[in-house]
């Protein structure tokens, strides 16, 4: 096992949280992609380029990065300079319950965070403390659960103070949302641009232009990203790679291998473990 191979951690005690880390990220290159879950990570050494939507930053050790669900993003090395990171991928409904508890809100609805990064030393330190707890095989499940609540409650208080820093879900173009929903619901099947445009009630030319402007990727890239997410979920449940590939709409296992590595900077076998 080399330092450039990503390490994944999925603890049955915390099914809503998945962890990933890499020690040497010089060969880790992501295509622009998005997740259905909320993501938070830290740069533990070196520096990298971080893209989130229209924002681009050169970030270094001590920085926390934050990605809301379906936010198009990527982190990549700068001129082959060494860098390392840790990431947490969090189920949105679980996090919505945490948000509701912290904010004393009866509605457990996930609220997107406005900042895309944080340089808070306290948040960085708390992240690493929780991450170490997550990897501690001797720690009792109830203590891991308590550590998770403690960290994410701190995160919510840090990122969403009572001055209104949390953005309410923004009004979006309804027809573009219909197009995205159609892609998500049918991503395992062959889809043409014509089918997507008809489902959304838009012309193909407008769909291509407006979809990329709104979501940060073309309809085809969005479709591919959804297929990767579907395959990721199947692999997480222990499906064979070839079965996950076909069930997610890929031509074969090799097609999934190439695309998975491009979008997630890891092979299906590395992710499945």
Mean pLDDT of the chain: 91
Q: 126 and 23 in one domain? A: yes
Average pLDDT of the segment spanning 84-109: 94
Q: 230 and 131 in one domain? A: no
Do 22 and 29 contact (CB within 8 A), yes or no?
no
- At 206-235, the pLDDT tens digits run 899 899 988 889 999 999 999 999 999 999
Q: 134 and 28 in one domain? A: yes
Average pLDDT of the segment spanning 149-178: 71
Average pLDDT of the segment spanning 259-265: 94
- Residue 161: pLDDT band by 50, 70, 90 thresholds? low
pLDDT number for residue 166? 38
Is the confidence at residue 90, as pLDDT, over 90? yes
Residue 66: inside a domain: yes
Cα–Cα distance measured from residue 47 to residue 209, given in angstroms and rounded to the nearest whole number? 33
Residue 105: inside a domain: yes
Q: 183 and 147 in one domain? A: no
In this structure, what CATH number is given to the domain that contains residue 186? 1.10.10.60
pLDDT number for residue 164? 40
Q: 138 and 25 in one domain? A: yes
Residue 165: inside a domain: no
- Residue 4: pLDDT band by 50, 70, 90 thresholds? confident
Up-side HSE of residue 65: CA atoms within 13 Å toward CB? Answer: 31
Q: 256 and 197 in one domain? A: yes
100, 127, 159 - which closes a domain = 159
Q: For residue 39, what are the domain limits? A: 7-159
pLDDT number for residue 222? 95
In which residue are the tokens 């085809």 written? 220
In which residue are the tokens 């308590």 written? 146
- Residue 174: pLDDT band by 50, 70, 90 thresholds? confident
Phi and psi at 60, nearest 5°, equal -140, -175
Residue 91: inside a domain: yes
- At 7-59, the pLDDT tens digits run 999 999 999 999 999 999 888 889 999 999 999 999 999 999 999 998 999 99
pTM beyond 0.75: the answer is: yes
Cα–Cα distance measured from residue 36 to residue 39, given in angstroms and rounded to the nearest whole number? 9
pLDDT number for residue 64? 97
Do 264 and 232 contact (CB within 8 A), yes or no?
yes
Q: 67 and 182 in one domain? A: no
CA proximity to 244, closest of 219, 224, 272, 273: 272
pLDDT number for residue 170? 40
């Amino acid at each position: 096992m080399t330092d450039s191979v990503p390490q994944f951690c999925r603890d049955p005690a915390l099914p809503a949280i998945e962890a990933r880390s890499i020690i040497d990220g010089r060969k880790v290159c992501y295509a622009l992609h998005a997740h259905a879950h909320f993501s938070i990570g830290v740069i533990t050494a070196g520096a990298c380029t971080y893209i989130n939507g229209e924002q681009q930053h050169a970030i270094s050790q001590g920085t926390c990065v934050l990605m809301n669900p379906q936010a198009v993003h990527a982190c990549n090395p700068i001129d082959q300079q060494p860098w390392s990171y840790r990431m947490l991928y969090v189920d949105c409904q679980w996090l919505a319950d945490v948000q509701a508890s912290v904010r004393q809100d009866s509605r457990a609805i996930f609220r997107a965070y406005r900042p895309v990064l944080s340089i808070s030393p306290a948040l960085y330190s708390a992240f690493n403390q929780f991450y170490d707890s997550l990897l501690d095989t001797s720690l009792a499940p109830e203590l891991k659960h308590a550590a998770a609540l403690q960290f994410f409650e701190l995160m919510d208080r840090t990122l969403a103070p009572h001055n209104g820093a949390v953005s309410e879900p923004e009004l979006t173009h309804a027809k573009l949302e219909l197009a995205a929903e159609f892609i998500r619901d049918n991503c395992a099947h062959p889809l043409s641009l014509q089918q997507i445009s008809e489902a959304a009630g838009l012309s193909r030319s407008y769909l291509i232009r407006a979809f990329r402007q709104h979501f940060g990727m073309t309809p085809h890239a969005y479709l591919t990203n959804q297929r990767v997410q579907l395959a990721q979920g199947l692999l997480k449940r222990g499906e064979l790679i070839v079965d996950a590939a076909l069930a997610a709409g890929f031509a074969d296992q090799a097609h999934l291998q190439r695309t998975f590595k491009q979008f997630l900077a890891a092979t299906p076998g590395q992710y499945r473990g």
